[in-house]
Amino acid sequence: MKSDEIRERQPPESPVPGLRENADLERDGTQPIDGLVSEVVNCARDSGDREVEELFRMLVAEWKTAVAALSSTTARAQHPAYQKITALGQPAVPLLLRELRERPNHWFAALRALTGVNPVPVSDRGKIGPMAEAWVRWGEEHGYL
């Protein structure tokens, strides 16, 4: 046997979060292959979404604790936890909007950075309640909520 034919039989690392954890789950073998593929993709996506949401929740808690005494919105937005939330990218948008709807806070800079828009009317700038309402309305209109 040639050396290139001898391969160590180890499962490759999965680039899709949650796929490895669910690899041994039983699947209905009578289901069409398209259905099986959709099921695996949905399972991986759900697992990845849960991981992002868990990280998001931890970062929000860290940020709130760290900036509770700060009045500067600039200092709040420059905190490392806030920056990490922004670095989560597009998956953070619906999480930020839900957070804003339930507990209005200074998430506006992150949302502007992630979406490239600012739906807050000039007359409402600086008013957390109306700013939060404008973003939540925008999120609903654009399918994030």
pLDDT at 27 over 60: no
32 vs 11, more confident: 32
Least confident of 9-18, 107-116, 134-143: 9-18
Residues comprising the chain, all counted: 145
- pLDDT of 91-110, one tens digit each? 999 999 999 999 999 999 99
- pLDDT of 51-84, one tens digit each? 889 999 999 999 999 999 998 999 999 999 999 9
Q: Are the C-beta atoms of residues 85 and 79 closer than 8 Å to each other?
A: no
For residue 22, give the 3-state DSSP assignment: coil
Owner of token pair 């948008």: 93
- pLDDT of 116-136, one tens digit each? 999 999 999 999 999 999 999
pLDDT at 7 over 90: no
Domain boundaries along the sequence of the chain = 30-141
For residue 17, give the 3-state DSSP assignment: coil
Helix (H) or strand (E) holding 80: helix 80-87
Q: Report the distance separating Cα 108 and Cα 130, nearest Å.
A: 12
Return the percentage of the chain with pLDDT > 70, whole number. 67
Rounded to 5 degrees, φ, ψ at 15 are -80, -5
- pLDDT of 49-59, one tens digit each? 788 899 999 99
Q: Report the distance separating Cα 144 and Cα 120, nearest Å.
A: 17
